[in-house]
Amino acid sequence: MDIVVAVKQVPDTSEVVDVVEIDGSGKDIERGTLVSRINEWDKYALEEALQWKQKLGGTVTAVTVGPGEWDDTLRRALAMGADRAIRVDEDATVIDCSAAARTLAALIGRLPHDLVMFGAQSEDFGSAQLGPMVAEMLGIPHAALVVRLQVEEGEAHVERELEGGARDLYTLRLPALLTIQTGINRPRYVSFSSVRKAREKELSVMSLDELGLPPQALTPAVELARLELAPAGKGAVLISGAAEEAAARLATILREAGVI
Amino acid sequence: MAEILVVAEHRDGKPADVSLEMLSTGRRLADQAGCGLLAVVVTSDVSAFAPRLARWADSVLAVKTGKPEHSLAEPYQKALASVIRERKPNLVLLGHSSFAMDLAPALAVDVGAPLATDCTNIAMENGAITVTRSIYNGKVNALYSFAPCETVILTGRPGVFPVEEGRGKGIVEEIDLPVHEEAEYKRFEGCSEPEASEVDITKADVLVAVGRGVKEKGNLQLAEDLARALGGVLACSRPVVDYGWLPSGHQVGLSGKTVRPRLYLALGISGAFQHMVGLRGSKMIVAINKDEKAPIFTDADYGIVGDVLEIVPVLTKHILEPRR
Amino acid sequence: MALTEYRYSDVIHRCFRCGYCKFPTSFIEVNNCPAYARYRLESYSTGGRLWLIRAWLNDELDWSEHLGEIVYSCAACKNCAEQCPLPFSDDIVDMIVAAKGAMVERGSVPSAVKEFLENVDRQGNPYGTARSKRGEWMEGTGIQEYDGQEFLYYVGCVGSYDTRAQQVARALGRVLQKGGVSFGVLGDRENCDGNDVGKLGEEGLFEALAEENIRQFKDLGVSKIVTLSPHAFNAIKNDYPRLDGTFEVRHYSQLLRDLVRAGKLDVSSGFKAKVTYHDPCFLGRWNAEYEAPRDVLRAVPGVELVEMERHRADALCCGGGGGNFYTDFLGGSEDSPSRIRVRDACATGASIVATACPNCLTMLEDAVKAEGLDDRLKVMDISEIVGEACQARGS
Amino acid sequence: MDSICQSLAEIVGEGHVSNRPEELYIYSRDLGTAEPHLPRYVVAPRTTEEVQQVVKLANREKIPVVPLGGGLTLAGLVMPLRGGIVLDMKRMDSILEVNERARYALVEAGVSQGKLVAYLNTHHPTLVHSEPGAPGQATVAGNVAIHGQGDLAQPYGFNSDMVNGLEVVLPTGEVCRIGSCSLAQQWFTQHPLPDLGLFLGWCGTTGVITKVSLRLFPRKRIRDMGMFVLEDGDLVPDILYRISHTEMAGDLIAWSQELPVTVSGLHNISIFISGDSEEELELKRKLIRVGILGEYIHSGVGGLVGLSANVRPRLPRRPPVSTIQDIKKGGGFEYVGAIMPVDTYPECCRRGAEISARHNIAYTLLGRVIGRSHAMMFSWSYVFNRADEDSVREAREALYESDDLALELGGIPWKPGVYGQQAVMERMDPNTLSLMKKVKKLLDPNGIMNPGNWEVS
């Protein structure tokens, strides 16, 4: 069972509110102070891939399209247990999904792949497009938002998450591509020493050219005009004081507002 | 000919809310641009609701299919691809739903159209389409335009686009297209509904929503007691479902449900946009969270900075027996 | 990890579970082990924990979130080490830390621990708040960035980010200024000291943090360090040297004592209150510093110092050690150690419970709220008390 | 969580019930050589009412209930031999009343010996209770439930002789009070009511003790001790008899151990005395030193350390059993204690040393005088390496042999494990045995209390 997992690196904008700034170009954010990390959804994809490798044997290859700094994320994938990692050296921040998809399809097409896994979406842009696009380009079946997976005899039995807790059940013939939703597993903690050890593992870098793609393959069909900071909410009225009095105040407020 | 196509998604014999939102939006854009609005639905029971779609759409293409009763990507992709190739609409609109996340990207590749997903605003000025997307955890809005092309495919964020009841009387045209809902490489095996016992949080007047901040499953009891005191229902954010503390039916947000209660009481929820989009419609939002920097405090009406586990029991007490 | 690879494989079975580890020297309460106090099940006592660790390493038990929580509920407060009559008593806490290490290497740790470690790795603090905000506490204090001054004032994560602890970080800054101490801080350049990361068993990350800090300190020519937190004090004093980072480090209470004794700090305005002092584990049991904070308090005119029944080496931990101020495996109950502790403090009739650790401070303050003792008991850091005492009269 | 776990949680609160592998593992083992037995549930009640509801539930569902105190009996008596519920009583640890004038303390069942000592030290310095030679977390109730004894045994006897009253939850769920507390306010005496000693020494097979009133004794201001060392063990009973005759001594303990080699082969008699004044002490010293030991010293059979105003040996802090236990660096320690005629001391030692030798464990032998030489608790102790199966087996066999030896020498194994219990019941008068059976059946019709122990076949 050879599994390819596509991962990406994202700036950590989740924790604090007012840390994001737009840069001079107006088309990107100030990345200076931001810390990068592996995309949350991709952790689940990797964990799922590694668990199936553990059960069925085979290999797990982590791939990405991105700049040199993204090797950190590939190293993390290797530390989690991936066997090898490949980065296509392009600045993913300026290309659109279809371009990224085209590149990844070209790469994955050259790799042995019984299963291809993507995170269901990315934390930064949240397009949730890449996986199914790549599947369509590779001409293999896909299922998005997979919350349960069972692999046996060349088939993948999956459950797709629908709104409100319902699920669609599919059987896909391998090779197939799945986009993985959070909650499908509990991604393992990656210890610092395992990251160190992962330095010995193979991490190769490829160019568009090596993939036989012309530069115009990257021309975006969707063009970013500009970025704007989202207008912040008006902000809550904070009720201060110890648990006892704060709770009492809130109870009164709720009563006066007639919500109870 | 200029045309806007809306893909109508349906479940349990009803069009999805988000599809109605897209139909209203499509109608608005079509009226501005003075072009036609076409709705496409693939269904086993055309009579069920195709006529309803016609209140917005000038014409409804109903593609007859056998099972299943609800929308699946495979048959839709084939039907839509041929409709799009034939009619070349300028714009194809879908709701940013689980269904569309499976369908839209593949369809875009299939028909070679640019795709922008999860749009929060869609504008059309003399043919040129621009959209807004909310990125970086809702902290940044990105404005996009498109290279000249025949068709642009967009999906719109649920709960963001207003629904205005359609008044029109479009025609419903039942067409027969080669729809193989059974591809041998991808079999639909059925659908699992959430446990029937579960309450529908979208109907609840008061929601007490728990997040990571409740620390452990055992503490859900506190929230449940409060919910009972308020005559409300328990809801939650994604991690709570991921940790297996509550069934996914309780989840509010992008991948959960969109709710519009009178009171939304968020306990230990940081307020990532994936969650917040699900409760924008709430009349009143109250947040209790240890971290005063939690984004939820920007959207909430009232907030208490403190330990949920300490405050909630006291609050329950005060709800049950008001101080004289 | 198999038992054979475990550092203490030849020792861990020697725990008899006689139970001394649960008590203070006087035996007056069975709940001097914070985790046992909170749960009152044998599994949460030090002995029970050691037996479970052995069973896990022996494959008699599978790893589970619950097992993880039992092991990680150890606040590393060292009461057990203090009380255990056996020859290996000094190793007990490390036996548990080593087991945490085994879990870390397997990648199986409770989600709260995972968050803690990933946040520190990413943002240099357990809260996951941006590195770029670490220095915000000092705005408007006139405190200088470190630039060759005599002392590096190392604040630590809690003092830098927790809003209540930030007040203490500022208070100490003002006191040091009043005392004419030449010092500077690192602001946004400061990184996590790693003490609790180490106690959570993430040895690799601890060493990386320590080495990074040591390099930075050396590059800046730092030789003397004064810390706000006993946790940082412990790491820099006891762990950095083996990583070739030897600095003259002192906890601020020690520096304040000298300043007061040398008359460099005028506390004559005094502070009139009955005060009881809570010993932070990483100052007390870990570094045997029981007197400096008390000396400082005694030196303040008007302070009437009273002791809780359990104090010094017998002090009950606030439950915030070993990362628990964040992971909170001991919270949410009236049996939470922090709440027992503030009840102890209240029993002395003191109106102030003073401490010298930002972790203890925040733990105890939350507990006072939870116990509804706000009107009877105030939690203050010693630096705040001294701060008030050296206000010029009338001001 | 299954339904029973749910109902238990409703009784004591979710946090104080567990059926998770980790808790079941810990509560399936005691500290000695006994094979583990998994419980189904662990419950830690806080009040008598909670205990009552748990027992009622158990009786209805016919689930075994095993009360647990400090868990230091070492003979598997608190292990769930038939599964069921382990009732960890240590949350019930309030000292409810100390009556100075009537010299008693009323405590909840989970109060530890250590806590009572500490409490009396601080609040009632003139009073002391009889503390067993066990780590401080041993509970007061646990000790009376096994007829334990400890300090002050020589003047005052067994702990269970010091019980003024009990509160007990019967196996069928009724709460009963035994002694003056059943009709009066004070818990000051058991007599003269008809004897209901149905719970002392029954090792939790007849009910759950929830409160104990324990007699307290005068605590003298100054303590002193001396040790008479001799080679000839045959003389020990006579010496003990004569010292106890003076009524000057507190505790009298004769012991002999193989390690360290310097003491190997010797017999030591530890003599504890106490007084409120130097005069009182000196008088007691004289009466024992000169009046009794003098002639032995002159005839050269032995020597005395201490018991003189100028030599003051340091009094041991509470004997930490666990440090003795670690000699083998194996964490294991268990002993057979038996109540023996004092005369059998020499034989107990000789044969005990043989048993130890057979299983190559250094011998540790000790006889504590109970009453004025009315009896002694003689203990054969064996250390073992918990991590070494053979070592555990050797100790286990040595323990069985010691049970047999005790009986052979006319003694009675104290708080024996199942093996010793069977041996005792085999030898017991059949009528007595059937009375035991009737009592047990009467109190515990469904046999839910600590089943597997003291089961009359």
ipTM of the complex: 0.85
B221 touches chain D (CB under 8 A): yes
A192 contacts C204? CB cut-off 8 A = yes
Q: Is the Cβ–Cβ distance between B253 and B260 less than 8 Å?
A: no
pLDDT in tens, C312-343: 999 999 999 999 998 889 987 899 999 999 99
- B75 and B127 both lie in a single domain: yes
User: Is residue D149 over pLDDT 90?
Assistant: yes
Q: Is the Cβ–Cβ distance between D242 and D220 less than 8 Å?
A: no
- B278 and B207 both lie in a single domain: yes
Q: Where are the beta strands (DSSP E) in A83-221?
A: 84-89, 115-119, 142-152, 155-161, 167-173, 176-180, 202-206
B310: which chain C residues are within 8 Å (Cβ-Cβ)? 366, 369-370
* Helical spans, DSSP H, in chain B: 17-33, 46-53, 73-87, 98-111, 220-229, 238-242, 273-276, 296-299, 308-320
How many C-beta atoms surround the C-beta of residue D229 within 10 A?
A: 14
B263 contacts A235? CB cut-off 8 A = no
SS (H, E, C) A93-111: HHCCHHHHHHHHHHHHHHC
How close D4 gets to chain B, by Cα (Å)? Answer: 17
E strand or H helix at D226: strand D222-230
Per-residue model confidence (pLDDT) at position B177: 75
Q: Is residue B260 part of a domain?
A: yes
User: Over chain D, what is the mean pLDDT?
Assistant: 93
Q: Which CATH class is domain A2-218?
A: alpha beta
A195: which chain C residues are within 8 Å (Cβ-Cβ)? 204
| pLDDT-derived band at D75, boundaries 50, 70, 90 | confident
B96: which chain A residues are within 8 Å (Cβ-Cβ)? 128
Cβ under 8 Å to A: C residues 94-123: 104-109, 111, 113-114, 117-119, 121-123
Work out the average pLDDT over D126-142.
94
B285: which chain A residues are within 8 Å (Cβ-Cβ)? 236
- C238 and C138 both lie in a single domain: yes
Q: Is the Cβ–Cβ distance between A175 and A113 less than 8 Å?
A: yes
Q: Which residues of D touch B (CB under 8 A)?
A: 14-15
Closest Cβ opposite residue A230 in set B140, B297, B311? B140
Domains contained in chain B, number: 2
Q: In angstroms, rounded to a whole number, what is the distance separating the alpha carbons of residues A195 and C121?
A: 12
Instruction: Pull the structure tokens for residue D323.
Output: 């440090």
- Whether domain D92-218 has CATH 3.30.465.10: the reply is yes
Closest Cβ opposite residue B307 in set C112, C129, C366? C366
A192: which chain C residues are within 8 Å (Cβ-Cβ)? 121, 202-205, 207-208
E strand or H helix at B192: strand B186-192
For strands B10-11 and B3-7, give the pairing.
unpaired
Q: What angle do CA D251, D255, D260 make, to 5 degrees?
A: 130
Q: Which residues contact D47 (CB under 8 A, 6 or more apart)?
A: D92
Per-residue model confidence (pLDDT) at position A44: 97
Q: Which residues of B touch C (CB under 8 A)?
A: 215, 219, 243, 291-293, 306-307, 309-310
Work out the average pLDDT over D219-232.
94
Per-residue model confidence (pLDDT) at position C395: 45
Per-residue model confidence (pLDDT) at position A134: 98
Q: Out of B275-289, C94-108, C231-245, D386-400, which region has the weakest mean confidence (pLDDT)?
A: B275-289
- Which chains does B contact via 3+ CB–CB distances below 8 A? A, C, D
Pick the CATH number of D222-306 from 3.40.30.10, 3.30.70.3450, 3.50.30.30, 2.70.98.50: 3.30.70.3450
- Interface probe for B, chosen from C65, C72, C115, C326 (most Cβ of B below 10 Å), is C65
The CATH number assigned to the domain holding B119 equals 3.40.50.620
Closest Cβ opposite residue D322 in set C16, C39, C62? C16
How close A31 gets to chain C, by Cα (Å)? Answer: 12
Instruction: Pull the structure tokens for residue C90.
Output: 């000094």
Closest Cβ opposite residue B315 in set A161, A236, A251? A251
D387 contacts C13? CB cut-off 8 A = yes
Q: In angstroms, rounded to a whole number, what is the distance separating the alpha carbons of residues C234 and C193?
A: 10
- Provide the b/e sequence for C101-121 (b: ≥16 CB within 10 Å): bbbbbebbbbbbbbbbbbbbb
A193 contacts C105? CB cut-off 8 A = yes
How close C172 gets to chain D, by Cα (Å)? Answer: 39
Q: In angstroms, rounded to a whole number, what is the distance separating the alpha carbons of residues D337 and D253?
A: 14
A15 contacts C127? CB cut-off 8 A = yes
Q: Which residues span the domain enclosing B229?
A: 201-320
| pLDDT-derived band at B324, boundaries 50, 70, 90 | very low
**Number of cross-chain residue pairs from C and D with Cβ atoms under 8 Å apart:** 116
Domains contained in chain C, number: 3
Q: Is residue B184 part of a domain?
A: no
- B65 and B166 both lie in a single domain: yes
A191 contacts C121? CB cut-off 8 A = no
Q: Is residue C378 part of a domain?
A: yes
Q: Would you list the domain boundaries of chain D?
A: 3-90, 92-218, 222-306, 321-416
Instruction: Pull the structure tokens for residue D297.
Output: 């010293």
User: Is residue D322 over pLDDT 60?
Assistant: no
D238 touches chain C (CB under 8 A): no
Q: In angstroms, rounded to a whole number, what is the distance separating the alpha carbons of residues D399 and D395?
A: 6
**Number of cross-chain residue pairs from B and C with Cβ atoms under 8 Å apart:** 19
Question: What percentage of chain B exceeds 90 in pLDDT?
Answer: 48
More confident residue, B46 or C270: C270
Q: Is the Cβ–Cβ distance between B54 and B170 less than 8 Å?
A: yes
- Which chains does D contact via 3+ CB–CB distances below 8 A? B, C
A188: which chain C residues are within 8 Å (Cβ-Cβ)? 106-108
Asked if D222-306 and D321-416 have one fold, the answer is yes
C370 contacts A189? CB cut-off 8 A = no
- B210 and B155 both lie in a single domain: no
| pLDDT-derived band at D317, boundaries 50, 70, 90 | low
Q: In angstroms, rounded to a whole number, what is the distance separating the alpha carbons of residues C296 and C253?
A: 7
How close B315 gets to chain A, by Cα (Å)? Answer: 5
User: Is residue B137 over pLDDT 80?
Assistant: no
- C254 and C281 both lie in a single domain: no
Q: Which residues span the domain enclosing C304?
A: 266-389
pLDDT in tens, B60-100: 999 888 766 778 888 899 899 999 999 999 999 999 999 99
D/A touch flag: 3 or more CB pairs below 8 Å: no
Q: Is the Cβ–Cβ distance between D31 and C13 less than 8 Å?
A: no
Question: What percentage of chain B exceeds 70 in pLDDT?
Answer: 93
Q: Which residues of A touch C (CB under 8 A)?
A: 12, 14-16, 19, 33-35, 37, 80, 186, 188-196, 242-244
Q: Is residue C394 part of a domain?
A: no
- C306 and C335 both lie in a single domain: yes
- C242 and C270 both lie in a single domain: no
Closest Cβ opposite residue B136 in set A15, A124, A257? A124
A193: which chain C residues are within 8 Å (Cβ-Cβ)? 105, 203-204
Per-residue model confidence (pLDDT) at position D311: 66
User: Is residue B322 over pLDDT 70?
Assistant: no
Work out the average pLDDT over B253-273.
85
Q: Is the Cβ–Cβ distance between C77 and C34 less than 8 Å?
A: yes
| pLDDT-derived band at C241, boundaries 50, 70, 90 | very high
- B249 and B147 both lie in a single domain: no
Residue of C nearest to B311 (CA): C370
Q: In angstroms, rounded to a whole number, what is the distance separating the alpha carbons of residues B231 and B228?
A: 5
Q: Decide: helix, strand or coil at residue B319.
A: helix
Question: What percentage of chain D exceeds 90 in pLDDT?
Answer: 89
Q: In angstroms, rounded to a whole number, what is the distance separating the alpha carbons of residues A143 and B106?
A: 11
B249 contacts A164? CB cut-off 8 A = yes
C/B touch flag: 3 or more CB pairs below 8 Å: yes
The CATH number assigned to the domain holding B299 equals 3.40.50.1220
Q: Which CATH class is domain D321-416?
A: alpha beta
- B156 and B282 both lie in a single domain: no
C331 contacts B309? CB cut-off 8 A = yes
B238: which chain C residues are within 8 Å (Cβ-Cβ)? none
User: Is residue D393 over pLDDT 50?
Assistant: yes
- Which chains does C contact via 3+ CB–CB distances below 8 A? A, B, D
| pLDDT-derived band at D281, boundaries 50, 70, 90 | very high
In chain A, which stretches have pLDDT less than 50? 17
Cβ under 8 Å to B: A residues 109-148: 120-121, 123-133, 135-137, 140-145
A243 contacts B108? CB cut-off 8 A = no
C263 touches chain A (CB under 8 A): no
Q: Is residue C51 part of a domain?
A: yes
Q: Is residue C348 part of a domain?
A: yes
The CATH number assigned to the domain holding C247 equals 3.40.50
B223: which chain C residues are within 8 Å (Cβ-Cβ)? none
Q: In angstroms, rounded to a whole number, what is the distance separating the alpha carbons of residues D315 and D171?
A: 43
Q: In angstroms, rounded to a whole number, what is the distance separating the alpha carbons of residues C299 and C292?
A: 11
Q: Which of B239-248, C195-204, D188-197 has the highest mean pLDDT?
A: C195-204
Per-residue model confidence (pLDDT) at position D315: 60
C39 contacts D25? CB cut-off 8 A = no
Q: In angstroms, rounded to a whole number, what is the distance separating the alpha carbons of residues A46 and C341?
A: 44
B221: which chain D residues are within 8 Å (Cβ-Cβ)? 14
Per-residue model confidence (pLDDT) at position D314: 63
Closest Cβ opposite residue C104 in set A14, A186, A191? A191
D15 contacts B221? CB cut-off 8 A = no
Q: Give pTM, 2 decimals.
A: 0.88
Q: Which CATH class is domain D3-90?
A: alpha beta
- C48 and C16 both lie in a single domain: yes
